[in-house]
Amino acid sequence: MTDITDTFDRSLRDLRISVTDRCNFRCTYCMPKEIFNREWEFLGRDLLLSLEEIEHLVRIFASLGVRKVRITGGEPLLRKNLEHLIAGLRIIEGIDDLTLTTNGSLLARKAAALKSAGLNRVSVSLDSLDDTVFRAMNDVDFPVARVLEGINAAAEVGLGPVKINAVIQRGVNDHTMVDMAREFRGTGHILRFIEYMDVGGTNGWRLDDVVPANEIIEAINAVYPIEPLTQQYQGEVARRFRYVDGSGEIGVIASVTMPFCGSCTRARISADGSLYTCLFATAGHDLRAALRSGATDDEIATQIRDLWQGRDDRYSELRSSLTTDLPKVEMSYIGG
């Protein structure tokens, strides 16, 4: 293993891989229906990395120091034979943690196969327990109950602790935060509130719509007293808290008000094989072309190493008028 660092001495440790740019939800903060409609052209099958190509790249990244792989999308459970990919990634030397982020819609019937293939854990996006609010936010009238079924199925087969991710928007679902805390206290699941971020260019993001982490923490603490926990590992993005009564923990991811660029160890691969060194990157590096042109593993590793060693991304720390007009990649394409 070769340890590589960027211009801010940040190591490459985490790899997030989007296996599809398609999703069966149209969440207003990610894939708004007015943009991602019937006229929207998703990637053709020939443009997607094959499962074998993804496995090939992960082996190279593992040789460069990556230890954690997260499968993302779009909605990754829409990708056929995903369990075959997980089984292949599971046996790669050096990969210690293999996880997946999903909207939970297909999780109830796929959890057992994912666990059998070797997946360690899942994170489930669930923005509210209020069924009316949730249906409006996913914009395809999908019910909360079926996501909860998926969460329960994942826990039953051992894909836990399940992390539940809620993106909080002012005036949309911020009034349901305490209800979510109440639901998941004592379950062993970990609820994480995420500040609404300016990812991509189609979600109409405004700073006024962000509910700051401190406000979220105060709202929960007023009903269920919490106290901070220490960081588990370098590069951890969530600020962790435990309930004082011992009934579990929650987290807050504050990319907007408390940027964590300084400890970011994550790289991302889009569904068509472009490497991005930041969630807010303006351009990627085409690894698919290298794979399909017959480049050797050493040659591809050199490309990755050179890109990472020149990395100086810190968008969230710089977020201001300087970044307002920068073109950004959509989250559905690059993965969360």
Task: Report pTM.
Answer: 0.92
Residues 6+ apart with CB under 8 A from 333: 18, 21, 74, 270, 271
Residues 6+ apart with CB under 8 A from 135: 141, 142, 143, 144
CA angle, 119 then 331 then 21, to 5°: 65
- Cis omega (within 30 of 0) on the bond before 200? no
Amino acid identity of residue 71, one-letter, is I
Q: How many residues does the chain have?
A: 336
pLDDT at 326: 58
**Angstrom distance (rounded) from CA 267 to CA 270:** 10
Closest-CA residue to 158 (of 189, 190, 115): 115
| Strand order across the 14-18 sheet | 226-228, 239-243, 249-253, 190-195, 163-168, 121-125, 97-102, 68-72, 14-18, 266-269, 274-276, 285-286
265-296, pLDDT tens digit by residue? 999 999 999 999 988 777 899 999 999 999 99
Q: 298 by DSSP, 3-state: which?
A: helix
Helices (H), the chain: 51-63, 82-90, 107-117, 131-138, 144-157, 177-184, 213-223, 287-292, 297-309, 315-318, 331-334
24-45, pLDDT tens digit by residue? 999 988 888 988 988 899 999 9
Query: How many contiguous H segments (helices) and E segments (strands) does the chain have?
Result: 11, 12
pLDDT at 69: 98
Tokens of 268: 């991302």
- Report yes or no: 261 and 317 within 8 Å, Cβ to Cβ: yes
- Report yes or no: 76 and 24 within 8 Å, Cβ to Cβ: no
Kindly give the confidence (pLDDT) of every residue in the chain, 336 residues in length, as a single tens digit, with 9 standing for 90 and above: 568 999 999 999 999 999 999 999 999 888 889 889 888 999 999 999 999 999 999 999 999 999 999 999 999 999 999 999 999 999 999 999 999 999 999 999 999 999 999 999 999 999 999 999 999 999 999 999 999 999 999 999 999 899 999 999 999 999 999 999 999 999 999 999 999 876 655 565 677 789 999 999 999 999 999 999 987 776 678 899 999 999 999 999 988 888 778 889 999 999 999 999 988 777 899 999 999 999 999 999 999 999 999 999 886 767 554 545 555 567 667 776
**Angstrom distance (rounded) from CA 158 to CA 31:** 31
- Report yes or no: 25 and 76 within 8 Å, Cβ to Cβ: no
pLDDT at 232: 77
CA angle, 31 then 141 then 22, to 5°: 35
CATH of the domain spanning 14-334: 3.20.20.70
pLDDT at 328: 56
